[in-house]
Amino acid sequence: MVLSKQTILILSSLLYAATAITVPGVTVPDTPEGLVILAQEVVDDGEGILTFYGDADPVAAALSKREESELSKRCGSNSLSCYSGHRANAWTCSQLIYQVEKSSTQLKQSPRSICKTVSGKQCCISWARAVSSGQEKNLASAGYRVLEGCNVWNDGTVSGLTRDTQIGNTCTTQCLSDRADGCE
């Protein structure tokens, strides 16, 4: 039996999503609709947990991807929007951004968000489109832009997004907030 490359990709994505790893004894907020937990890592000497969320239906995400040549021409501007809802603890966000900045781990088709939870406080970096050839460190620049530009409530919280953000070969919207599925 011969399988096409697309069939193998789809099957491996489904297998990857179905074999999610969770850290025993770790409680994370409910998984948002449309996402699944792919993996969790203990970081900061056990003080924090990184949770990687992916598309619940990686086949649909792969099929929805389109050529972005026109978007790529203007990509990288990281135009900023701040929000008053879903604000995350700025210190936790700073730790998360630093964590991804120092990582050279390749982003797969899925995940679609990475969250850090410390002492019950969660901060998430999420992005709107499945990415191609991205690394975790590609998330840091826009993350810092939101952290610096949207920490406006003087209460140590932040929520915002950048548009026209380059993650690997993909132009997308990236969010920093307290949830895995966007800022608003």
The 10s digit of each residue's pLDDT in 85-120 is 999 999 999 999 999 999 999 987 777 899 999 999
Q: Could you tell me the pTM of the whole model?
A: 0.72
Going by pLDDT thresholds of 50, 70 and 90, the confidence category of residue 175 is very high
User: What tokens were used for 150?
Assistant: 């949207």
Indicate the domain borders of the chain.
21-64+73-177
Q: Which of 57-61, 73-77, 157-161 has the weakest average pLDDT?
A: 57-61
**Residue 136: pLDDT over 50:** yes
What's the Cα-to-Cα distance from 66 to each of 21, 37, 57, 131, rounded to whole Å? 30, 25, 17, 11
The CB-based long-range contact list for 70-76 (8 Å cut-off, 24+ gap) reads 71/164, 71/171, 72/166, 72/169, 72/171, 74/164, 74/171, 75/164, 75/165, 75/166, 75/171, 76/164, 76/165, 76/166, 76/171
Q: What is the mean pLDDT of residues 71-98?
A: 89
% of the chain surpassing 70 pLDDT: 76
Number of H helices, E strands in the chain: 5, 9
Please list, in sequence order, all residues whose beta carbon lies within 8 angstroms of the beta carbon of residue 122, skipping any fewer than 6 positions away: 28, 29, 88, 89, 92, 115, 116, 178, 179
User: What was the pLDDT predicted at 183?
Assistant: 82
Q: Which of 2-16, 133-147, 153-167 has the weakest average pLDDT?
A: 2-16
